[in-house]
Amino acid sequence: MAKDDHMTRILITSAIPYINGIKHLGNLVGSQLPADLYARYNRARGAEVMFICATDEHGTPAELAASKAGKPVDEFCAEMHGVQADIANRFGLSFDHFGRSSSAQNQKLTQHFAGRLKSEGFIEEVSEKQVYSNADGRFLPDRYIEGTCPNCGYDSARGDQCENCTKQLDPTDLIDPRSAISGSTDLEVRETKHLYLRQSKLKDKLDAWITSKGDWPILTTSIAKKWLHDGDGLRDRGITRDLNWGVPVKDGDNDWPGMEGKVFYVWFDAPIEYIAATKEWADARGLDDDAWESWWRTDKGADDVKYVQFMGKDNVPFHTLSFPATIMGSGEPWKLVDYIKSFNYLNYDGGQFSTSKGRGVFMDQALDILPADYWRWWLLSHAPETSDSEFTWENFQSSVNKDLADVLGNFVSRVTKFCNSKFSPAVPDGGTYGERETALISDLTTKIRAYEGHMAAMDVRKSAAELRAIWTAGNEYLQEVAPWSTFKTDPEQAAAQIRLALNLIRVYAVLSAPFIPTASAQMLAGMNTLNMDWPDDVEAALGKLPVGHEFTVPEVLFAKITDDQREEWAEKFSGTRD
């Protein structure tokens, strides 16, 4: 169907959050939230959108977190997935599917890619020496080995790094090494085999592909080029680990001799989950393989798809090099990304957000104190696009109070209350539009076209600034024509002004929905309409609510943040959580 009517099809993926714990606002604004903005905008413009995210569930940190929580790792992951899905939902993140990298679909697809890469000559088997724990009956990843740091004498240094002096270590550097699982010192170094993805063989192809992406943000391409060319250039990467928790190493459906008991390294299977999650979406709806393959296989319709990825800058190397290497190396017609939108970091009040230190505001805590739209607006209007940005409580209070309460909220409240008290709770008849109204329509048309341009270009801050300007234009109009004064001398003219302003509330709801979906829904409910038509023609859009159309005065859309609240929250979040 999509092919025949030339509907735009947009595939959107957000970098998948790691399973162990709740993410902070810096994580949110670096991928999921701007991806949601783009998804909502394109749906509003009539595109067919597939918006995919998932939890990244494999690897050592998940195993460690589960063991700390005293739970089997699969149970821990299922629980945490539920927690993250619930918070995402409450933040209004409109995923078409929020999958799990531990799904059966991802297991099968990851094994398929590995088998393809092997057939195409992009896998190398390498013998390595690694620490084996006799007591635990397993090889130990570096960070599962503890001992005394040879540099500073700290007695709980990990095999990859000393937490105390930050020196990078090899497990064999440690004095009196022991297993972090059992504490056993019965360790030995054994020979073991691992698989490497021969990315270096794909270097030229990747380089040419990145070079062809002249429209990508500099942040994205500069990171990719650095990894391609700095030092020895693009290095081959190990894709297997001696762990229990992960996708078992297989060559497609077949066993891989010598790789028994090993799993794929989490970075290999995590991006494949973008594809697998789309299959999870289809499976959950009882759809056949065409349904998901039309998004991902260029031989099955995906050549018409625009594929956009959102991520923080730390994830750029995996998405510009490793994952494309997996796709290119497979020799199959899988969809490559068309555009990568990457973000810098959001800092917190003079320092960094820190998950390990519990510093900053975490997603669940944010929703405990204010509804999602307050956060969505601030985060998106301050997105760290061209440089890092910083969250401060003063700035948050001032943005919310000015933009949301004084400009947008006040407009809605004044117009509906005035109409209700001087006319009736319905769009009033009488009067005609004059020069001032024509000027407003022309100004709004210019601004809305600019807003569309910024949204299509994924310029998040510019989009927010333009939307704010659109709200302000309405407020200035209202201030200037002052229907409450006009009413005393010319009630007909006041009716025309209010008719326009009531219609403008609907237009604001439509334009603002990608940023503040809950408030947008409240505005539409107040205006007693389900009409979400985009204002392609602004003059026509301002006539959608006809004379006599009834409305209700909405509750206050946005409460102001008081100085007391600001101080209380600044204090509350200055330390560490729990």
Of 162 and 478, nearer to Zn ion (C-beta) is: 162
Query: At closest approach, how far in Å is the CB of 154 from Zn ion?
Result: 4
Of 103 and 148, nearer to Zn ion (C-beta) is: 148
Q: How far is residue 58's CA from residue 235's CA, in Å, rounded to a whole number?
A: 23
Query: At closest approach, how far in Å is the CB of 174 from Zn ion?
Result: 10
The first and second tokens of residue 65, run together, are 């977190």
Phi-psi category of residue 434: left, alpha or beta, with phi > 0 → left and psi -120 to 50 → alpha: beta
Report the candidate in 416, 407, 427, 420 with the shortest Cα–Cα distance to residue 516.
407
Residue 149 lies near Zn ion (rule: CB under 5 A): yes
Query: At closest approach, how far in Å is the CB of 254 from Zn ion?
Result: 45
**Binding flags for Zn ion, 152-191, as an x/- string (CB under 5 A):** x-x-------x-xx--------------------------
- Percent of the chain that is helix, strand, coil (3-state, to 5): 50, 15, 35
Residue 151 lies near Zn ion (rule: CB under 5 A): yes
Part in contact with Zn ion (CB under 5 A); list of ranges 81-89, 147-155, 400-408, 425-433: 147-155
Query: At closest approach, how far in Å is the CB of 168 from Zn ion?
Result: 10
Q: At what angle do helices 104-119 and 323-330 cross, to 10 degrees?
A: 60
HSE-CB at 2 with a 13 A cutoff on CA atoms is 19
Phi/psi at 573 (5° precision): -100, 10
Q: How far is residue 129's CA from residue 174's CA, in Å, rounded to a whole number?
A: 16
Residue 484 lies near Zn ion (rule: CB under 5 A): no
Of 154 and 209, nearer to Zn ion (C-beta) is: 154
Query: At closest approach, how far in Å is the CB of 142 from Zn ion?
Result: 15
**Binding flags for Zn ion, 92-131, as an x/- string (CB under 5 A):** ----------------------------------------
Of 154 and 534, nearer to Zn ion (C-beta) is: 154
Of 157 and 478, nearer to Zn ion (C-beta) is: 157
The first and second tokens of residue 11, run together, are 């595939």
Q: How many residues bind Zn ion (CB under 5 A)?
A: 7
Region 199-228 residues binding Zn ion, contact defined as CB under 5 A = none
Query: At closest approach, how far in Å is the CB of 156 from Zn ion?
Result: 10
Of 163 and 429, nearer to Zn ion (C-beta) is: 163
Part in contact with Zn ion (CB under 5 A); list of ranges 84-92, 144-152, 430-438, 486-494: 144-152
3-state secondary structure 295-316: HHEHHHCHHHEEEEEEEEHHHH
Angle (nearest 5°) at CA 91 between 340 and 88: 70
Q: Quickly list H helices, 137-285.
A: 203-211, 218-229, 266-284
Of 100 and 158, nearer to Zn ion (C-beta) is: 158
3-state secondary structure 115-171: HHHHHCCCEEEEEEEEEEECCCCEECCHHHEEEECCCCCCCCEECCECCCCCCECCH
Query: At closest approach, how far in Å is the CB of 61 from Zn ion?
Result: 21
Query: At closest approach, how far in Å is the CB of 148 from Zn ion?
Result: 9
Residue 64's contacts (CB-CB under 8 Å, 6 or more residues apart) are 20, 143
| DSSP symbols for 476-521 | HHHHHH-HHHHHHH-HHHHHHHHHHHHHHHHHHHHHHTTT-HHHHH
Q: Are 415 and 490 in contact (CB under 8 A)?
A: no
Query: At closest approach, how far in Å is the CB of 166 from Zn ion?
Result: 7
Part in contact with Zn ion (CB under 5 A); list of ranges 36-44, 99-107, 146-154, 391-399: 146-154
Of 151 and 475, nearer to Zn ion (C-beta) is: 151
Q: How far is residue 483's CA from residue 498's CA, in Å, rounded to a whole number?
A: 7
Query: At closest approach, how far in Å is the CB of 180 from Zn ion?
Result: 16
Of 176 and 564, nearer to Zn ion (C-beta) is: 176
Of 161 and 392, nearer to Zn ion (C-beta) is: 161
Residues that bind Zn ion (CB under 5 A): 149, 151-152, 154, 162, 164-165
